[in-house]
Amino acid sequence: MNTVQNQTPFDRPMFFVGGDWIGPSTDERHVALEAATEEPIGIAAMAGPADIDAAVAAARAALESGPWARSTAAERAEAMRRFADAWDKRADLATTLVSRENGMPIALSRQTNGLGPAGHLRRNADLVENFPLEALRPSTRGATIVRREPVGVVAAITPWNFPLGLALSKLAPALAAGCTVVLKPSPETALDSYLLADAAMEAGLPAGVLNIVLADREAGAYLVSHPGVDKVAFTGSTAAGRAIGAECGRLIRRCTLELGGKSASIVLDDADLDTFVAGLDGASFMNNGQTCTLQSRILAPRSRYDEIVEAVADFASGLVVGDPLDPATTCGPMASKAHQERVLGYIEAARASSARLITGGGRPAGHDRGWFVEPTVFADVDNSDRLAREEVFGPVLAIIAYDDEADAVRIANDSDYGLAGSVWTQDEARGIDVARRMRTGTIGVNYYAIDFNSPFGGLKASGIGREYGPEGLSSYLDYKSIYTSADHLPA
């Protein structure tokens, strides 16, 4: 973080609070650097406690006394559709900006950061219009009206790897439920979230419903513990999630935590290797490996071990490393120098172990600028090795041998995490049976792709709560029971 004088078209020197742009209370600035070139893109103001106070106060006022407080589900749905329409005009800019910030290949950025936000808004708008927010039940003394009401002010804290898609995974259901939001994006992607503010203003979203303040971890912790916040929705590391969960537990405050993973991909002995290899990009290498659902442990049967190792290595070595804005690129840089060094540190530690390096293993030749890491595959990894236990969050895979199906399930479940996974087999019924025995929140059979109409989230150290679908909307609602006379019951 630095103070700079030069300005670019992407500079964001103010915060979006109460429906308007306000100046920061501090002179601290973050310089956003392009992942592929290490050149400055723009600067953004960093929030202090006073800025967090202002954002929470604006959200609280909109919740309690603004037009949003009196809005119906249909009115919120209509506002969200206007928001989505306004976002569509900014989708191309958002796509490119995120790829410059975090190195995401442009085709993936178009889906997750360009088109994704509007999709989340429209899906949740449709969902809330058909979601029963009030129901009548007979009771022993008469009748009970069971209401679902907004949980309140939501602190949405989002990471840098899928910054806009993950912001809307929280913002869209919160808005649909009638909540108001303070969004704190990650400094590593400091600039793109403010495009949401531009779209919200064009859509006429009421003042204070959405507030955006960029902040570091210290100010983020202040937001988590703020007395004006009713719920925290967080996506990020397990270490940070533990701290947030502990604070929310102390405060008896609701939270949804979508955390890390070290997921397993089980290749059964009857798997079709062409199908498996075709799914590696989405399951095990998505977004340069900077994906929480990454299946970075490949479990291979000893009877087919060598051919699976060869197939994975061939795929990894065939990835095109380069400029994320080039449509031909399939593996861009890491999001920051610090993260590049972290990933390279895991590779060096694995090289010093008994694991066998098959391909990759360092910084790719010809990429002296930018935070690039070669797609890397290690074979002969033991599930007790650090490479198999900890989340690398980069393009680094560990291949582990297993004896039989029961052994594969045991190894897959022998993890602190439980977020994702996949099973590869020509017998889908067999694959589903294996999937049912794996302790994980989501799992694919012969492919892995998140379904936004179904619940997503993790077990164990991978998190608490669920996002997406009606379950995701429900997490932003509280229940109230109103005891009444039987006169309200149908005749």
Going through 169-271 in order, the beta strands assigned E by DSSP cover: 180-184, 210-212, 231-235, 254-258, 264-267
Query: Quick check: 15 and 44 in contact, CB under 8 A?
Result: no
Encoded tokens for 41: 């893109």
Name the domain count of the chain.
2
- The answer to whether residue 4 is domain-embedded is no
Owner of token pair 């090795």? 385
Residue 238 domain boundaries: 15-259+463-480
Same domain? For 237 and 275 the reply is: no
CB neighbours (10 Å) of residue 274? 9
Same domain? For 417 and 470 the reply is: no
Same domain? For 165 and 217 the reply is: yes
- The answer to whether residue 490 is domain-embedded is no
Same domain? For 275 and 250 the reply is: no
Helix (H, G, I), strand (E, B) or coil at 398: strand
Encoded tokens for 365: 């030749």
Encoded tokens for 484: 């009444």
Helix (H, G, I), strand (E, B) or coil at 159: coil
What is the CATH number for 293?
3.40.309.10
- The answer to whether residue 308 is domain-embedded is yes
Query: Quick check: 104 and 324 in contact, CB under 8 A?
Result: yes
Going through 307-414 in order, the beta strands assigned E by DSSP cover: 356-359, 376-379, 396-402
What is the CATH number for 469?
3.40.605.10
Same domain? For 252 and 348 the reply is: no
- How far is CA 423 from each of CA 32, 262, 302, 491, rounded to the nearest angstrom? 39, 15, 16, 53
Same domain? For 391 and 335 the reply is: yes
Same domain? For 249 and 107 the reply is: yes
For residue 7, the model assigns a pLDDT of 57
Residue 168: in which H helix or E strand, if any? Answer: helix 163-177
Nearest to 425 by CA among 403, 400, 446, 448: 446
Residue 417: in which H helix or E strand, if any? Answer: strand 417-418
Query: Quick check: 359 and 347 in contact, CB under 8 A?
Result: no
- The answer to whether residue 226 is domain-embedded is yes
Residue 346: in which H helix or E strand, if any? Answer: helix 337-351
Q: How far apart are CA 283 and CA 420, in angstroms?
A: 9
Q: How far apart are CA 181 and CA 155, in angstroms?
A: 6
Same domain? For 324 and 380 the reply is: yes
Nearest to 235 by CA among 160, 182, 162, 158: 158
What predicted TM-score, i.e. pTM, was given to this entire model? 0.96
Q: 3-state SS of the chain: helix, strand, coil percent to 5? A: 40, 20, 40
Encoded tokens for 58: 């604006």
Category of 71 on φ-ψ map: left (φ > 0), alpha (ψ -120 to 50) or beta: beta
- The answer to whether residue 229 is domain-embedded is yes
Residue 133: exposure state from Cβ atoms within 10 A (0-12, 13-18, ≥19): middle
Nearest to 335 by CA among 371, 303, 299: 371
Same domain? For 179 and 315 the reply is: no
Q: How far apart are CA 352 and CA 354, in angstroms?
A: 7
Q: How far apart are CA 252 and CA 163, in angstroms?
A: 28
Same domain? For 56 and 180 the reply is: yes
* CA angle centred on 41, ends 36 and 46, rounded to 5°: 120
- The answer to whether residue 487 is domain-embedded is no
Residue 52: in which H helix or E strand, if any? Answer: helix 49-64
- The answer to whether residue 420 is domain-embedded is yes
Query: Quick check: 144 and 136 in contact, CB under 8 A?
Result: yes
End-to-end CA distance of the chain: 67
Same domain? For 355 and 385 the reply is: yes
Q: Using CA atoms in the order 116, 119, 123, 126, what is the torsion angle rounded to 10 degrees?
A: 160
For residue 93, the model assigns a pLDDT of 97
Task: Report residue 412 CA to chain centroid gap.
Answer: 23
Query: Quick check: 113 and 94 in contact, CB under 8 A?
Result: yes
- The answer to whether residue 173 is domain-embedded is yes
Q: How far apart are CA 271 and CA 397, in angstroms?
A: 19
Same domain? For 329 and 184 the reply is: no
Show pLDDT as tens, one digit a residue, over the chain (491 residues). Answer: 333 344 568 999 999 999 999 999 999 999 999 999 999 999 999 999 999 999 999 999 999 998 998 999 999 999 999 999 999 999 999 999 999 999 999 999 999 999 999 999 999 999 999 999 999 999 999 999 999 999 999 999 999 999 999 999 999 999 999 999 999 999 999 999 999 999 999 999 999 999 999 999 999 999 999 999 999 999 999 999 999 999 999 999 999 999 999 999 999 999 999 999 999 999 999 999 999 999 999 999 999 999 999 999 999 999 999 999 999 999 999 999 999 999 999 999 999 999 999 999 999 999 999 999 999 999 999 999 999 999 999 999 999 999 999 999 999 999 999 999 999 999 999 999 999 999 999 999 999 999 999 999 999 999 999 999 999 999 999 999 999 999 888 87
Active site residues: 258
